[in-house]
Amino acid sequence: MLAEEVSLTPAALPARLMAEPATREASEVAAWTAALRQGDDSAWREFHAAYWPRLFRYHLVLSRGNEAAAQEAAHQTFLRAVRHIREFDSEAVLWSWLTALARSVAVDEIRRQTRQRSLLDRFFHRHSPANGTPQVDADERLLALLEAHLAALPDAERMLIERKYLAGESVRDLAASLATTEKAVDSRLVRARQQLRQSVLAALRHD
């Protein structure tokens, strides 16, 4: 996982990951990226071959050597590139754009981890690990159980929990979208939290 303290600014990264010598003329880059915009399969295969290793190394630095995290982050960066590709007239500008996407992916991962920790705090009050289990291992176990038992909730209650605690929607917005009162939403959230907490803690006791 990415560490919160990792700096995502270009100045904090090795220079060789920020700028490498361009190998294509401006006209060639423009034609290539135009083909990418049009969804040309061969252009995308060439793009993947040219930039996957560099983006993987870039994310490897951001993730402090975590290869699995770097692999997933590079994959997410490519997905964003596919969705948002535009025409460029130089490889330097194209690479700069790709690294901006990469940093956005890294920031989103940090935010996701922050939401997960917040969710653990709310549901389990930082349930203390037993037998000297490192906190990070305890958190991962709790998250795995939380995700499994959340998926087992009735769809309506699961969606309510996800919208409130993962998407960050307010009770007022939830009430408006569900055509009900804030008090009713609060009551449903209390019941869903209790059910989820009890089932997860029961699983922990069973372990």
Q: Where are the domains of the chain?
A: 10-113, 127-206
Output the tens digit of pLDDT for each of the chain's 207 residues: 333 334 444 444 444 444 454 566 788 888 989 999 999 999 999 999 989 999 999 988 888 888 888 899 999 999 999 999 999 988 888 998 999 999 888 888 877 777 666 666 666 554 444 444 445 555 667 777 777 888 888 888 888 887 887 777 889 989 998 899 999 999 999 998 888 888 888 887 776
Euclidean distance between the first and the last CA atom of the chain, given in angstroms as a whole number: 25
In angstroms, what CA-CA distances link 102 with 9, 17, 66, 120, 196? Answer: 11, 12, 15, 27, 35
Pick the CATH number of 127-206 from 3.90.1150.10, 3.40.50.970, 3.40.50.410, 1.10.10.10: 1.10.10.10
CATH number of 10-113: 1.10.1740.10
DSSP string, 10-27: GGGS-HHHH-----S-HH
What is the pLDDT, as a whole number, of residue 14? Answer: 45
Single pTM value for the model: 0.51
Distance (Å, whole) CA 201 – CA 207: 10
Distance (Å, whole) CA 66 – CA 73: 11
Beta-carbon-side half-sphere exposure of residue 58 (alpha carbons within 13 Å): 30
Which stretches of 38-169 are DSSP H helices?
Answer: 41-62, 67-84, 91-124, 135-152, 155-161
Please report where in the chains the tokens 């176990």 appear, as a residue.
141
What is the pLDDT, as a whole number, of residue 1? Answer: 38
Distance (Å, whole) CA 173 – CA 125: 26
Distance (Å, whole) CA 57 – CA 49: 14
What is the pLDDT, as a whole number, of residue 132? Answer: 47
What is the pLDDT, as a whole number, of residue 5? Answer: 36
